[in-house]
Structure 1
């Protein structure tokens, strides 16, 4: 297959390397010109593509001459107009796809699309405009726009918080005190499992479906993050007393049933 990856960063680059090793031709985009040589050195055809929110006019159109597109450009959380900006980005991508050879799109979304309601949430629990953050609402709008397009099939994966290797959310929590919601369960997933799930979807040619991508276990924050900090020789975060109950747990049961996927890191505590 010829596979284009829009966003060859922390997740997209190692994904591209693994797909390349399975005899696929990989095209990868970056927003930074200094990364073009890196992609080329890994046998990934490099493209410089920016969305502000329209695609830069000098972008090479051959990027869209592929069988499959993996869309991996998250909305910026800190942007004031994140919902309208990301919608314009997605519409610019759709415009490119209408006349392309791409018949299948895998959209990397997030569990931030779910409302902050207590209990176990499944893929059906996302409600337009009800996400906990504006970035989640932006992703829901993007999902709907992509699913409505007749020119290509769309598969959506809503990943939890990503971690692995040189990246972990504890880095931003280290040493902080009196943190809230210590009893809240984590909804995380290791990068290796993200890549494994995407590869499984490609191998099985799963189309027009939505999956949650989170690990099996959901330890509470007050247990998990201090333990990870100590393992990494970082000052552990400290949590205030928490009497709140009924936190959200994201279910991965559909993913496991449909894909028969077995997690490499089923418990984030297994470090």
Structure 2
């Protein structure tokens, strides 16, 4: 029997998940706040597309809660604190109201590794403290609590803390190298990354798990932990271009840590196809 999935937020990550779900013959419903995105989704063959604001209630009657899987990967409506509160807190509270029923399903909220404030290059996992996290990070943590409170008796809720997403269409560092642009910040800062397609794989792998029966929080990163200079120098070499400089104007106490994804690997069997930035960037440079 075909599975049913609703994807709330169909931007860079959500659209890729929708396409992967269609490829598995799942019945896909999608929610977006963007009319142009909605048009693209319909052209791609998405079965049911709804446009609206997640924090509102108007969409509740337009999407069936009879789903096997539900994903909330809506991004912030704006980069400021109000935008974060509106999309993450308001959005999850709206979802919670929509899901006040007895239907069993698996729910995923995509959070961020930005909830880890550590700055000494240490390896951090899901058990580490969030003391000192930024105001945006605090909002994400509050949203995670809302997610895990989603009727835990009836549905499994998972939080996936995603490292920096990159992949097709996201090549900011390549563009900077091509322009010979000085890059702000320190080249020694660690970049925790995850390729878009590997993030999609992680969500699907979590959906398919029957154990654990309860929800969990998982970090999703490639565990390579290269620093910014290493990545940029490799790109320059691959393009046969001069290395670019960093201005080294780093904010005091800026996060600088190695985010471990060992828990999701050990508990679900997930592993990234793009375990190295080199493999992914080589493909992007060749495309």
Structure 1 residue 122: deviation in Å?
0.3
The answer for unaligned runs of 5 or more in structure 1 is none
After TM superposition, list the pairs within 5 Å mapping 1:11-22 onto structure 2.
Answer: 11-22=13-24
Aligned residue for 1:249?
A: 258
Structure 1 residue 45: deviation in Å?
2.1
2:189 to 166, 184, 192: 184
How far apart, CA to CA, are the structure 2 residues paired with 1:77 and 1:232? Answer: 35
Q: Find out whether 1:259 has 2:268 as its counterpart.
A: yes
Between stretches 157-166 and 8-17, larger displacement belongs to: 8-17
Q: How many residues align?
A: 268
How far apart, CA to CA, are the structure 2 residues paired with 1:202 and 1:248? Answer: 28
After TM superposition, list the pairs within 5 Å mapping 1:69-218 onto structure 2.
Answer: 69-76=70-77, 78-85=79-86, 86-99=88-101, 101=103, 103-118=105-120, 119-127=122-130, 130-131=132-133, 133-150=134-151, 151-170=154-173, 173-174=176-177, 175-177=180-182, 179-205=184-210, 207-218=214-225
Task: Mark the CA change 1:46 to 1:235 in structure 2 (over 3 Å): closer, same or farther.
Answer: farther
Structure 1 residue 36: deviation in Å?
2.9
1:77–1:135 CA contact under 8 A, matched in 2: no
Structure 1 residue 79: deviation in Å?
2.0
2:222–2:272 CA contact under 8 A, matched in 1: yes
Task: Mark the CA change 1:100 to 1:83 in structure 2 (over 3 Å): closer, same or farther.
Answer: farther
Structure 1 residue 63: deviation in Å?
4.0
The answer for unaligned runs of 5 or more in structure 2 is 283-287
How far apart, CA to CA, are the structure 1 residues paired with 2:95 and 2:146? Answer: 11
User: Aligned-pair RMSD on alpha carbons?
Assistant: 3.0
TM-score, scaled relative to structure 2:
0.81
TM-score, scaled relative to structure 1:
0.86
How far apart, CA to CA, are the structure 2 residues paired with 1:59 and 1:148? Answer: 19
How far apart, CA to CA, are the structure 1 residues paired with 2:12 and 2:149? Answer: 29
1:75–1:139 CA contact under 8 A, matched in 2: no
**SS of residue matched to 2:99:** helix
